[in-house]
């Protein structure tokens, strides 16, 4: 276990270094390419209930995706992380204006406030069709390197127990976040697909 933890830590450092070397313009360019691929993706097109993340500066930008999802009348859910443990809920976002007025956390992410209990949690109702996944690194076999808190792995376990079952999962990545292989353990839930700018 210690060896695996050390391997993950070293890889997290390397991934952060790779993404930090990208210019803002390059991040925006790759984010546009990835977004366009997503908009054509049959799973995205057919999904009614989508969980997506509001991006940090080392992640594929998701604002255009949020706009597109609302344009097509999809229900959007965003994470609320609990900083003291690995618990995360996916809470409904009402509109673009709603997104812009959310409070900022210590991590500089917009998310619903701890005492905001007015929003629907995705699994309390109809479940989810699709989860767009963030991460620091990914490989072609669906292995994902998160930030080490286990938020998404824990949430996917909850999804699996929901009557609707596990939603389709798509990771959004910069090319620089692709790895040959990510070290994982039994708690790491595999993702279905990684979208990134390839040479198609």
**Residues making up the binding site:** 8-12, 54, 59, 144-152
- CA triple 17-198-57, angle to 5 deg: 35
Region for 108 from its dihedrals, namely left if φ exceeds 0, alpha if ψ lies in -120 to 50, beta otherwise: left
Task: Write out the H or E segment, with its range, that includes residue 89.
Answer: strand 88-93
Length of the chain as a residue count: 200
**Which residues fall in the annotated binding site for ATP?**
8-12, 144-152
- Please check whether residue 105 is in contact with residue 81, taking contact to mean a CB–CB distance below 8 angstroms: yes
DSSP class of residue 123 equals G
**Which residues fall in the annotated binding site for substrate?**
54, 59
């Amino acid at each position: 276990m210690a060896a695996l933890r050390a391997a993950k830590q070293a890889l997290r450092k390397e991934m952060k270094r790779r993404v930090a070397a990208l210019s803002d313009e390059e991040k925006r360019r790759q984010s546009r390419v990835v977004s366009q691929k997503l908009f054509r993706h049959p799973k995205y097109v057919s999904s009614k209930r989508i969980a997506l993340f509001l991006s940090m500066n080392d992640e594929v930008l998701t604002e255009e995706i949020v706009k597109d999802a609302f344009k097509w009348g999809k229900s959007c859910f965003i994470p609320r992380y609990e900083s003291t443990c690995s618990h995360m809920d996916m809470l409904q976002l009402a509109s673009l204006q709603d997104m812009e007025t959310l409070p900022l956390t210590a991590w500089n992410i917009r998310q619903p406030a701890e005492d905001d209990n007015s929003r629907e949690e995705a699994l309390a109702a109809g479940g989810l069709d699709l989860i767009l996944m963030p991460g620091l690194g990914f490989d072609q076999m669906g292995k994902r390197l998160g930030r080490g808190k286990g938020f998404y792995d824990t949430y996917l376990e909850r999804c699996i127990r929901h009557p609707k079952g596990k939603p389709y999962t798509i990771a959004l990545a910069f090319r620089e976040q692709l790895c040959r292989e990510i070290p994982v353990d039994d708690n790491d839930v595999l993702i279905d697909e990684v979208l990134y700018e390839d040479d198609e």
